[in-house]
Amino acid sequence: MTDPTLLYEAFRRNGHVNAFLLDELTDADLARSDSHGGMTVAQMFSHMGASRGGWLQEMSPTHAASTLTLTGGESIWGWHATDRATLRAMLTAGDEAALQAVRAHVDSGEPFADPRGVDTFASHPAHFLLYMIVHDANHRGQIVALLRQSGRSPERLDRLEQQWDIWRK
C-alpha cells in the first residue's frame, strides 16, 4: 500500500455513518440493551469512540490526548457516556486522532509502538483505520439488530438504510 488516501476517505465516511446513526436514535434507543447483560446502545457508541483512544494510548500516546481529555481522568477503556453530544465528541476526537496518528506514522515510515508485543498493525499503520471501520460496522450491526428486536417500526428501520448512500457517493 503506497497511497492510503482512499482508506483515509473511507475512514471519514465511516465517521459520517456513525454520526448518521447517532442522529437517528432517540434517547430510548440509546438506553436499549439485549436485557441479558449486553451493552446498551450508548455503551456501544462509547466503546466505538473510546477504542480509538485506547489503541492510540498504546501505539502513539501523543495522538491519544484529545480523547483522554474527554474521559475526565477515567481509564479510556472503562469510559462511557449516555448523552448524544458527548458520544459525538468522543467519536469525532477519536476519528481525528486516529487519522493524525496514521498519517504521522505513514509519513515518517515509523511503525506504531508495540509496548505489549501484540503486533500493533505492524504490516502498515493504515491497517488501524481499516480495523476501526470493521469494528464500527460490527457494532452498528448489533445496534440495528437491537432496534429491530425491540420493536422499532419498519419505517424507522428503513430510514437507517440511508446510511448506505454515504458509502456510494
Look up the CATH architecture of domain 5-168. Up-down Bundle (1.20)
Residue type, 133: I
Q: Is the dihedral of CA 153, 145, 11, 99 positive or negative?
A: positive
What was the pLDDT predicted at 38? 87
Would you state the cell numbers that stand for residue 27, as one nine-digit string?
434517547
pLDDT computed for residue 87 by the predictor: 95
Q: What is the pLDDT along the chain (169 residues), one digit of tens a residue?
A: 578 899 999 999 999 999 999 999 999 999 999 889 889 999 999 999 999 999 999 999 999 888 888 887 667 788 889 999 999 999 999 999 999 999 999 999 999 998 888 888 888 999 999 999 999 999 999 999 999 888 888 888 888 888 888 888 8
Model pLDDT, residue 73: 66
* pLDDT, position 139: 96
Whole-angstrom distance, CA of residue 81 vs CA of residue 87:
6
Q: Which of 41, 27, 25, 51 is nearest to 146 (CA)?
A: 41
Closest CA to 157 of 141, 135, 169, 168: 141
Residue ranges of domains in the chain: 5-168
